[in-house]
Amino acid sequence: MFAQDAAAISHEAPASLLLRTAGAYKKKAAELAKDGEHDQAAAHLIRALLPPAARVMPSPASGALVLREGLDETTVADLKQLLATAMQKLKQQRMLEAQEAREAAAAEARRVEEALALQEARARAARDEADWSAYLQASMDDDRLLVEAKPSPALFELELQLRGPANDGSGVLTKKLVVRNSHEDGPHAVYEFCSAHGLHSADEVRKLSEIVQARMTGSPVWLAEWLAARPSTSPPELLRRAGEHRSAASFREAGVLYTRLLAHPDGATLSAEEVNAAREGVVQMMVAERALLPFFTSVRTEQWQAALDALERLPRDLRSSARLQLLEARCHQMLGRWGSAQRAAARVVEATATYSPWLRGQPRMLAVALGSAAALEQGDGKKALSFLASVLKYDPDQEEVRTQYKQLKAVLQLMASAEEQVVKGYNHRAVAELDTVLAKLRGMDVGNTLLRAQVLLKLCRARSAMKKHVEAMEDCQTAYSALSTPGPGVQVHPARVREALEARAVAHEADQNFDEAVADLRAASELSSGPGAPKEAAQALEGNLRRVLELQRKWRCIDPSDQKAWHDNRCGHAGDPNSGRNHRSVLELPANLGDLKPEDQCSWVIKQYRKLAKQWHPDRYKGLKARAERKMRECSEAKEVLFKQLTCSEGSSKRRGRA
C-alpha cells in the first residue's frame, strides 16, 4: 500500500532546490558547530546527505540508506568530512562532559570530606580549650597565694608580735599563727606564716618552728597524741622529696619540706650539706613563691605579656619545670609567638615523655597539641608531625592522635608528590593534588599559615606554566606576603622568601612583565648573597637574572623607527624580525600572516587589536588595573608599529573591518 502511494507520487524536485536545501542544512550545521552544539550540527549534516523522510528506504542490493538525489561526489565527500568532524567533536564534547561530571563529583566528595574533617577539627579544638581551662583552673587552685582562705575551725592558735607599722603607733604588730586542719603541722603553718609576712630567714623559720612545736606539745592531750602519732620522715627522704617538688615548681610544698627538715627531731644528726640545703632552700622557696604571685595573677587575668615578664624575673633553674614551661608556652601561643611556643612545648614533651597512657587533659598532651599547632603556623609540617609521632612512640594506642598523624602525613605526602609533578611538567596533575592539599588543610582548620603559603607557591608555578596568569599571580602574592611578614614571634626564613620571589618572577616572565620579573630576581639575588646561602643556588639565580635581563632589553625595543631608543637598548638590525619585541605575538596574530595578501594582513591586525582592546580595556577588565593598562599599552604599541611595517591605512582598515 505504501509502495503504491509512493509510486503514485512520482514528482521529482529540481536539482537546484535539492542542492539549496542541502546547503541550508550545511550552513545551519556550521552555525550550530560554532555555538558548540555538535550533536545538532551532526543531525543537520545527516539531513543534508539523506533524502526527505518520505523517500528514505534501503537500497535493494546493499540495504544502505539512499543519499539525497542531485548531490555530486565532491559535495557528498565534503558533507561526509564535515559529518566526521562533527561526530569527532561530539565525542570530544561528551568525553569532556563526562570528565567535568567526574571532577564535579570528586569536588563534591572532597567538599563533604572537608566539612566533616573541619567539624571534627573544630570539635577537637574546643575540647583542647576546655582542657586548657581545666588545667589553668587546677594550676590556680594549687597555689595557696591565689585562693581565698576559707574559714574553718582552728586546731591551734599562737599570737606573735612582729615589728612593723601598727595602728596604735607602737611599732608592734600582733599576728596569729593558725593550724586549721589535720593536714597541717607546726612546720607547715610556720612556713606559710613566714612566707606571708616576709620573714624570709632560715633562722627565723627555725626559731619559730621550735616555739610552735613546744607550744603544741603542751597543748591538750588529744593534740599532743595526734602529733606523736604522725610518722616521722628521715632527713634524706625529706631532701629528696623537696627536690622533686622544687623541680615541679611546687615551691610551697618544697618550702614546707625544707622547714620540716630544719625542725626535725634528729637535727643534730644532719650533715652540713643537708643543713645548708635546708637553710638555702626554705628562703629560695619563699622568694620564688612570692615571685610567682604576679605570674599566676597575670595568667588568670589573661595578661600574657605581663605573665611572661614576671616569669623572666625568676632564676632560670626555678622556672625550668614542665608546669611553668607549659604555662609559658600558653602565653606565647596567645601572643602569636609561635616559635617560642613551639620550643617551650617541646621542652615539656621531652621532660614528661614516658611509656604510659597519654590521656587527654594531661599537661604533656596539651603540650603536644600546642606544639604541633605552632609548628604548622610556622610552615614546618615535619616538626608538627614529630610532635604527634612522639605520642605514638610512647603510647601506640592513642587513637585520636593517630588520626591526626595520618591526616597530616597524607597532606605532606601530597605536597611532595605535587612538587614532583611540577618539576616533571605535569602541571594539571599538580594543580589537582594541590587543590586537594588546600582542602585537607581547611579540613584540619589550618588557616593563614606558612604551610599554606608553601602550597600556594607550588600552585603559582604550576598555573603560570598553564598560562593562568591571574590565578598564578594571586597565589604568588598571597604566599610572598605570608612568608615575608609572617607575624610577631615567627622567624622570617630568607630561603622561603627567596623561593617566593623566584616563583613570582617566573609568573611575571610568563606574563611578559619583564620589569617586575627582573625586580623580583634582583631581590632574590640579594637574599641569596647573605651568609649561609648555598653558592650553587646563588650562581643559578645570577644566571637566570642575566637571561631575564636580556629578555627585558629585547622587550624594550618597540619601534625600529625610534633610532635613539633602538640604539640605546642595543636592539640590533632594524630589519631583523628577531630583533626587538615580537608585536605579532602580542596581538596573537596567526603564524602564516606573511603568506596573506597585504590587505588581509592589515585586516588581521585591526581585528586582533579590537578583540584584545575589549579584553584589556581598564574600564572593563575585572582583574588588576595595572596589568590591564600594561597590556592595553602593549597592544596599542604593537598595532602602531605593525601599521608602519605593513603600510596599513587606518581608514582603509576600518572600512575592511566593517566589511
Residue pLDDT, tens place only, 283-322: 878 877 777 788 888 888 889 999 999 888 887 877 778 8
> Please, are residues 163 and 171 in contact by the beta-carbon 8 Å criterion?
yes
**CB 405 within 8 Å of CB 79:** no
pLDDT of residue 8: 39
Whether 235 and 270 have beta carbons less than 8 Å apart is answered as yes
C-alpha cell at 285: 622557696
Q: At what angle do helices 202-217 and 186-196 cross, to 10 degrees?
A: 140
Which portions of the chain are predicted below pLDDT 70?
Answer: 1-20, 52-65, 140-186, 197, 213-232, 265-268, 445-448, 487-490, 530-533, 573-578, 650-659
Question: For position 26, what pLDDT does the model report?
Answer: 84
Nearest residue to 237 (alpha-carbon basis) of 258, 207, 251: 258
Whole-number Cα distances in Å, 405 to 118, 129, 161, 359: 15, 20, 62, 16
Cβ-based neighbours of 238, under 8 Å, separated by 6 or more: 257, 258, 260, 261, 264
Question: How many Å apart are CA 101 and CA 540, to the nearest integer?
Answer: 43
- Give the DSSP letter of residue 219: S
What's the pTM value of the predicted model, to 2 decimals? 0.65
State residue 399's pLDDT score.
92
Q: What pLDDT is recorded for position 386? A: 94
Q: Which residues pair with 158 in a beta bridge?
A: 177
Degrees, nearest 5: CA angle 329-244-191? 100
- Which stretches of 35-158 are DSSP H helices? 38-49, 73-142
pLDDT at 635: 92
471 Cβ contact list (under 8 Å, min separation 6): 459, 463
Whether 359 and 343 have beta carbons less than 8 Å apart is answered as no
Half-sphere exposure of 199 (CA within 13 A, CB side): 22
pLDDT, tens digit (0-9, with 9 covering 90-100), for 506-549: 889 888 899 999 999 999 888 877 666 677 778 888 888 999 99
Q: Are 560 and 580 in contact (CB under 8 A)?
A: yes
Residue 201 CA to residue 331 CA, distance in Å, equals: 33
Instruction: Output the DSSP codes for 378-420.
Output: TT-HHHHHHHHHHHHHH-TT-HHHHHHHHHHHHHHHHHHHHHH
